[in-house]
Structure 1
Amino acid sequence: MRPRITVIGCGYLGATHAACMAELGFDVLGLDVDHDKVAALQEARPPFYEPGLEPILRKHVESGRLRFTTSYDEVAEFGDVHFLCVATPQRDGELGADLRFVDSAIASLAPLLQRPCVVLGKSTVPVGTAERLTEDLARMAPVGRDAVLAWNPEFLREGFAVDDTLRPGRLVFGLPEGYGRDAADQAMRVVYAEAIAAGTPVVVADLATAQLAKAAANSFLATKISFINAMAEICEATGGDVTVLADAIGHDPRIGRQFLNAGLGFGGGCLPKDIRGFMARAGEVGAGDALTFLREVDAINQRRRSRVVDVAAELVDRPWPVANVAVLGAAFKPDSDDIRDSPALNVAGRISLFGAHVTVHDPQAISNARKLWPTLHYADSVIDACRGAHVVLVLTEWSHFREIDPVVLAEVVATRAVVDGRNCLDREAWRAAGWTYRALGRP
C-alpha cells in the first residue's frame, strides 16, 4: 500500500512538492497556516509563478488526489510520510537562519502523532537542527521514537522546480543512526521509486552531512558566480572581455561553463541567505575561519549592484532628478515572480532614491514589486517602460528582453543608451542601431 503524504508549509517549495507528489500517484494533503494561501491552492491557484505548476496543481485538485488544509489534526491523522517544507529566512539584523517556523511546525505536529510515521525535512537548516528536532519529536509525540525524523534536502531551481522535483538530478537521504534508520530509508525509496528506477543517483548520508549538502551546494554556486564577477572587475580595468574569458576557462572540464556568466550577480530567497547562514553556523561550531571566503563572495555580489548604478550614471547626461530610467526586470531571475533580494529591484530602488523617475517592467513580478517598492513606477510593456527614457537597464534576462528589436525601441526612448546588466543582449545589433551599449566586464 502506498504511503499517504503530507506537506507542511505550502510556499514555493511545499506547493511545488505537493503537486509533484500527486503527479507521481500519491494521495497528498498540504498544510499551511495562511488561510488565504490554502484557499487559493484549494482552487488550484498557485500563490506564485512557476512554469508548469498550475496545470499539475489543477489536475490533482480536481481529481481529489491533492487537498490543502490549515488543520494539523487532519495532517497527523492522514499522513504516513510528512514532508517539512517551511521557510527558514535570515534572522533580522543577523546572518543566521530563523528557525521559528520549523520549531513551530514540529511543536504543532508532534503531539498529534499517534501512530508510526516518518517526518522528512526538506527545509534548509543549520547543521545540528535535525538532531535537535529528533529529540523534540521523540519527546513530544505520543508514539515516541516511532515518529522517525530524517533529512531529504531540496535542490530546486526556480523556473525549473517542477522538472527538478519529478526528475531530480540527485537525491540525498539523511538517515538517523540506529532506531528508525531502515524505516526512513524505505519511506524515501518508496516516495522516489520512479526517479530511482530512472537512474537518479542516491547519496545516503548521516543527518549532519545531509543538512550540509544544500548549504555547501549553494555556497559553491555563489562562489563560482562571484568569481566570474571578480574577473569582470579585472576585465573592466584591463580592457578584457569577461564573456570570452568565461568561454576560455569554461572549456576546462574541471571548471565548466555553467554559472560563469558575469553580470549583476545572484539574489533570490536561497543563495544570499544560505551562504550567510552557513557562515553563522560555522562560527557557532568553532569553524568560522573555514568560511571567511564567503564574506568576500557576498561582498563581490553586492558590488555588482553598485557598479550597474555607476555605469548608468556615466550614460545619463543629466542629474538624476531630471532623468527617466527604464528598468527591464524585477524578478531576481527569469521564469519567476520572486523578488526576494532581487538585484534588479535593488538597482531600481537605489536610482529612485537618487531622485530619478524609474519605470519598471517585468512579465511576472510587477505585482510583487509594487508591494515592496510602491514609490517606483510600473509599466505593462517594454515599450511603455522605455518611452522617454534617458537610459535603459536590462537587469533580468527574460527571453523576450533578449529578443527586443533595438531599432524599434530606439523610436520611443529619449536617449539611445542601454546597460546590459546580464550580458544577454546582442551587442553588435544594438550598436548597429545607434545605441551606446555598456555591459559589465566587457570593453
Structure 2
Amino acid sequence: MSENKLKLSDIYRAAHVLKGVVRHTELIAAPKLNPECDLYLKPECLQHTGSFKLRGAYFKISQLSPEEKAHGVIACSAGNHAQGVALGAKANGIKSLICLPEGAPISKVEATKRYGADVCLVPGVYDDAYKRALELRDEHGYTFVHPFDDPLVIAGQGTIGLEILDEMPDVEAVIVPVGGGGLISGVAFAIKAISPDVKVYGVQAAGAPSMVQSLKNDKIECLSNVSTIADGISVKEPGVNTFELCRQYVDEIVTVSEDEIAAAILAMIETEKLVAEGAGAVAVAAAMFNKVPVKGKKTVCLVSGGNIDVTILSRVINRGLIKTGRNYAVTIDLSDKPGVLAEVSDIIGKLGGNIISVTHERISVDTPITSCTLRLVMETRNAEHIDFIRKGLIAAGYQILS
C-alpha cells in the first residue's frame, strides 16, 4: 500500500462526515479487569448497530458518486459490517444487498434485515460470502463495500483513534481486536501519526490467527480453516492494505484462547455491566491475561462490538464460569452404601461449595460391583477454592477420579 492511499486528513474528513451520525463512545474506567494497569474501555458495543463497523461503512457510502449510489451497494459480512452497510445505505437512500455466512448469528441476520438490507445467506464462512458478493457485484453492477480492505473504510474506523487521543492525550497503550485488520489499521495509523510513542497492540482469536501468521512469515497467508466463538474476527486472510498498515504501524499482535475470550465476556458483564460479543472481548482478554506488556500503563481496550446471540451468550457465560473457577465438576469413586452421598454433600457444604447438579452412576464396567461413581457440579469462588475442596475430599478419604 503506497503512503498516499491513506492520509491523516482522510480520517479527519471521516470524523467530520460522521459527526452526528455515530455515537461518540466515551471511555469507561475498568480497574477491576486488570488491577496492574490503569485500564479503560472504549465501548463501541454501545455504538449504533452495536459495533464500530458503522463508521467505516457509512463514510465509504457517503463518498460514492451519484452513479455508484444509483447502482446500489453490496457487501459481505459476519454480521456487524452488514448492519453498518445496511444503515449507511438506508440513510443515503440507496439499495443494499448483504452476503452473510449461513452460520452467522440469527440476531445479526435479523438486525441486518431490520436496517433495510436484502440478505443473501451463503454456505461456509466469511470468505465464502466474500466470493459470492464479488460474483453478484459483477453480475448486477453493485458497488462493493469491503468490510476492511478499503482506504475509506479504514479511514472511518480510524476516527476511533482520534476520539481516544482527544479524550485521553496521555494514553500509553491501545489494544484492538483484529480480524481482517481494518479497525486496527485505521486506529494505529491515526494514533501513530499524532502520538507515535503510544503502543498499539492487536489481538486475534487463537482459532483464527490470519494476521499473526501473515506478519510472522512476512507475507499474506490464507488459513485453511478458522474456528472461534469470536465470529466477527473469524477471517481466513487479511487484506493487502491492512497487512501493510499493520506491518508499519502495529507494535505487536497476539492471540487469546476461547476460554480467555469467554472469561473476558463474563468479567465485563459482572464488573462493567457491558455485553460484548466474542470479537469485542478479545482486547479485554489480552489485558486480563497479560498477553501484552501493559503493566503500570494507562491502557485503552477497544470493545469493538456487542452483537452476541443470546444462545451463544449462555454457553459463553458457562465457559467463563469454568475458566474463572466459579463452576467446578468433580467425579468421585464411592462405596455404594446408604448415607455416603449425604456425607459427601455435607463435606462440600462445609467447605463452601454449592452443589447444583448430581449424577449418581451405579452401572459401569469400569467400577467394582460394590462401588459407584458420583459426579457433582458445584458453584465455587475461584481456583483456590476448588483446590481447597479437592483437598478436603481427599483428606476425608474419598478418591477423586477427575
TM-score, normalization: structure 1? 0.26
TM-score, normalization: structure 2? 0.28
* Greater relative CO, 1 or 2 (CA 8 Å, sep 6+): 2
